[in-house]
Chain A
Amino acid sequence: MNKKQVHILVVDDEFGIREGCKRALSEDGYQVDSANDGSAGLQKINKRSYDLILVDLMMPGINGLKLIKKVQKIDSEIILIVITGYATIESAIEATKSGAYDYLPKPFTPDDLRTVVKRGLEKRNLRLEALQLYKEREQRLLELTNEKSRLQTIIRCMADGVLVINLQGQLVLWNVSAVKMLHLTGTDKSGLSLEHYIKNKSVIKSLKQILDSQDSDCSMMTREIEVDKKGSVLMAKIAPILDKKNRILGTVTVLSDITKLKEIDKIKSQFVSMVAHEIRAPLAAIEGWLEVVLSDESREDNTQNKKWLNRAKERSHALLDLVNDLLTINRMEAGKIAQKMETVKISDIINKIVEFLMPEAQKKNISFKIHIPKDLAVIQADKADMEKLFTNLINNAIKYNKKNGKIIITVKKDESYITTRIEDTGVGISSKNIQHIFDDFFRVEDETTEKISGTGLGLTIAKRIVDSHLGKIEVKSELGKGSVFSIFLPYSPKKKKRM
């Protein structure tokens, strides 16, 4: 402590003592004040703070003992030293009991004074330091509590499940997400074994396996845990909690629900293997036909060979269609082709497609009836999409129609939609199959359709186009009689982006 900043007060009714003390202590560099009785002393003490006060016990008015008690109340950290004659040594001891730090018997030398003051000030420093440390500790504890509550709030709000397990395998901390994911029970108490909270034995087993295999070198490990028979899958990330000496105190487990991802992954691999099969089958057929020709199964019958080569060509053409459809779907999914919304006349598109597909229809002697009102409003749509949509649907109406069949196309408008009905007199779709017709690669396969080729993606694409225009597609059908596809398209879909 810098001496200049140390303030000492001498309270004594004897002028000699006051001046003597003042001189001796000032020489040492302390700031010294004096008062000639108790009440004057109190006034000074109330005005500023002192580090040390020398008090004479025997004073008129407020005596030393009273003063000590009062000062104690004002600031218990001020060091009080009692100055006393031999006669009052007992009261000096009394004063020490009431809080005075030490006493100085009269008469005393300046050195006696210095020693006592120095010791007193050292004591004061120690006390102040202790007080400071105490305050800091309080502050830290407060911060710790805040930190803890902040941490708990963060953990509570997490969508991922959190479990903290100690070395004894007891669950000491968890959050609501973990309760939901693992169906934890009995969470009103903490610190019990895992079995108390988790009823599913296989989950406990896999958790324990992960915990047991944990060693201090490994910073984190990841495992999948199957929770229930419904197929929920959790991704568990487990990390050890280490102390300063790298000893394991317990483990933190963070659980994320990856059930959806797993499903998507499964759908994706199913799609890939379906595509692979759908492509391999026609390729194998093409090669089969080529093989028959090349190994001269026809015995040099060129007409026969030509027939077989034509069969191969039909399959390769169908394969090309399939690849094109797959590319269309891929572009739609990746959003690679932005839709170009423009004013489209449905009637123009339908007439154009019917004209284009007429040769196919004529092969089966199919007739068209088209009802489109002249004042039909235009719609905002992507022209290429619309052409693809109606080509797929009208093409189906031809392909799945009977010989001498009919196709009736009716376009109507109401308040918000333009409705197109495409009705055929074809083979129809059974109620069992009708729910699947918009699925990828789904094709009705029976005697009635075995001669008809298709990719199984035409209606998938049609539905996606209609969806992307915020429209609706419906189908009604009667087996053996025909099908009706209704397409509802809004005049101007607000959404510009595809899906």
Chain B
Amino acid sequence: MSSKGKILLVDDDPDFIEIHKTILENHGYEILTATNGEEGLKRVRTDMPDLIILDLIMEKHDAGFSFSKEIKKDHLFKNIPILMVTSVAEATGYRFSMKEDGYWMKTDDFIDKPVKPEILIKRVEKLLSKGEENKIE
């Protein structure tokens, strides 16, 4: 494989798809995109990405959650790490944290929008290496 990994971006904001795509492609990842949950699920089933970067708020306010639940209950896909990005956390004064919400958010990590390129890359690398460990087990 020439790329460092296949990443699916699910976001209804075309700007973020492009921003993240630019950064990640620059760092040698292969990028797939989807603008809503439904399309995202289709992509997961047909292209089997190594990592999913998911926007919390899509067409419906809980679309991000139901998408990740859908993925995590499927044996084939549950090991795909999901990185949740959101612009909702600070704005609503409600902070999500892996400690408190991780168990039901069923995502592997999350960061606030906008994401600094170097942080995005670090998180992605970390999640992908964890994914590798899971596979070996």
Contacts and interface: CB of A to CB of B under 8 A. Distances in A.
Interface of A: 273, 276-277, 279-281, 283-285, 287-289, 291-292, 295, 297, 299, 308, 311, 315, 445, 447, 450-451
18 contacts: A276-B91, A277-B87, A277-B88, A277-B91, A280-B91, A281-B87, A284-B16, A285-B13, A285-B113, A288-B16, A288-B113, A288-B114, A289-B15, A292-B22, A292-B23, A295-B116, A297-B22, A297-B23
B118 interface: yes
A279 B26 CA distance: 29
B117 A291 contact: yes
Most B CB atoms within 10 A — which of A277, A287, A288?
A: A288
A120 B16 CA distance: 111
A292 B59 contact: no
Interface in B92-128: 92, 113-118
A445 B91 contact: no
Contacts of A308: 22
Contacts of B16: 284-285, 288
Contacts of A451: 14
B19 A276 contact: no
B13 A281 contact: yes
A209 B36 CA distance: 48
B30 interface: no
B47 interface: no
Nearest to B19: A288
Most A CB atoms within 10 A — which of B23, B35, B91, B116?
A: B91
Given A288-B19, A295-B116, A295-B118, 19 more contacts: A273-B92, A276-B92, A277-B88, A280-B90, A281-B113, A284-B113, A285-B13, A285-B114, A288-B16, A288-B114, A289-B19, A291-B19, A291-B114, A291-B117, A292-B117, A297-B22, A311-B15, A311-B18, A315-B15
Given A285-B19, A445-B59, A280 B12 contact: no
Most B CB atoms within 10 A — which of A276, A284, A451?
A: A284
Interface of B: 12-16, 18-19, 22-23, 26, 35-36, 57, 59, 87-88, 90-92, 113-118
Contact of A292 (B12, B19, B35): B19
Contacts of A299: 26
A442 to B, nearest CB: 11
Contacts of A311: 15, 18
Nearest to A315: B15
B115 to A, nearest CB: 7
Nearest to A281: B87
Nearest to B24: A297
A291 B116 contact: yes
A475 B31 CA distance: 41
Contacts of B35: 447, 450
Contacts of B12: 445, 450
Contacts of A287: 114
Most B CB atoms within 10 A — which of A281, A308, A450?
A: A281
Contacts of A285: 13, 15-16, 19, 113-114
A285 B114 CA distance: 7
Nearest to A312: B15
A277 B57 contact: yes
A106 B79 CA distance: 130
Contacts of B114: 284-285, 287-288, 291
Contacts of A273: 91-92
A24 to B, nearest CB: 101
A284 B20 CA distance: 12
Contacts of B116: 291, 295
A299 B90 CA distance: 32
Contacts of A279: 91
B59 to A, nearest CB: 6
Contacts of B92: 273, 276-277
A308 B16 CA distance: 12
B22 A284 contact: no
B15 A297 contact: no
Nearest to B14: A450
A280 B113 CA distance: 9
B93 to A, nearest CB: 9
B36 to A, nearest CB: 8
Contacts of B88: 277, 280
Would you list the 4 A-B pairs with minimal beta carbon distance, nearest first? Answer: A284-B113, A288-B114, A285-B15, A276-B91
Contacts of A445: 12, 36, 59
B17 to A, nearest CB: 10
A359 B120 CA distance: 40
Contacts of A283: 87
Given A277-B88, A280-B87, A285-B13, A297 B117 contact: yes
B26 A297 contact: yes
A256 to B, nearest CB: 29
